[in-house]
Amino acid sequence: MPPEAEAGDGGAEDIRTVILMRHGETDWNRQRRVMGTLDIPLNETGREQCASAAMLLADFGVTRVVTSPLERAADSASRIASRLGVMVDEDPDLEEVRFGHWQGLSYEEIVSHEDYRAFAADPTRNPTPGGETIVQVQGRGLEAVGRARPGERVVFVSHGDIIRAILSHYLAVPLDEFRRIRVDNCGLSAITSRRGRAEVKFVNLLADPDRVWEPLHWSRKVSAPTS
């Protein structure tokens, strides 16, 4: 990316900065249950994660927060915005994947479902029972973050799989491999763009970095956070 303040090119006013944050932890994360579009509240750990993330963001120059309307994301966004002294907008395009009849089930329960096996094998062509492929999820996520305006530094509070899909685009990761990208609760990832050129600044930055060593959340052998 060119220097940010090159003479005569508008400098930092041309730059859009998108910070992606996954919502804080819920009890269903720890229970490894699929939330999808169900409204599940933050637990105490999730509220503490939001407070820590807000402290980390305090020096980032955030100008606005945009959130998924689902409760766990909207509450996370409100806590962040209150600490940063900025406004919050909602965008339904940031909602979690529509998982249909998988919602409420544990990952152990859905792995034997034929439609889950098809989605896991090729998420770009096979939709969830809620009717979405990961291509469609990525598309609405990119639409949402694309609405950031020049000169803004916006935190978008969303959900695990949609954040992975957005990052896959900017990292040029094949979309069928989107789950290779680690996205923890309240993990922060940043992208700057200018004149159509984008740069990923960091991925899954945590205020409490020891969490990155926890087992992968979709492992069937351990209890760890899920989307």
Active site residues: 23, 96
Token code pair at residue 205: 């930055």
Distances 178 to 53, 111, 164, 183, 214 between C-alpha atoms, Å:
24, 18, 6, 11, 19
Residues 173/167, Cβ–Cβ less than 8 Å = yes
Q: In this structure, what are the phi and psi dihedrals at residue 142, rounded to the nearest 5 degrees?
A: -65, -35
CB contact set of 139 (below 8 Å; sequence gap of 6+) = none
Report the half-sphere exposure of 124 (CA within 13 A, side-chain side).
9
For residues 168 and 177, the answer to whether their CB atoms sit within 8 Å is: yes
What is the β-pairing status of strands 197-205 and 188-194? antiparallel
Task: Classify residue 214 by its DSSP letter.
Answer: S
Which CA distances in Å does 119 have to 2, 124, 132, 137, 178? Answer: 40, 8, 10, 13, 12
Which strands make up the sheet holding 88-90, listed edge to edge? 88-90, 64-67, 153-158, 16-22, 188-194, 197-205
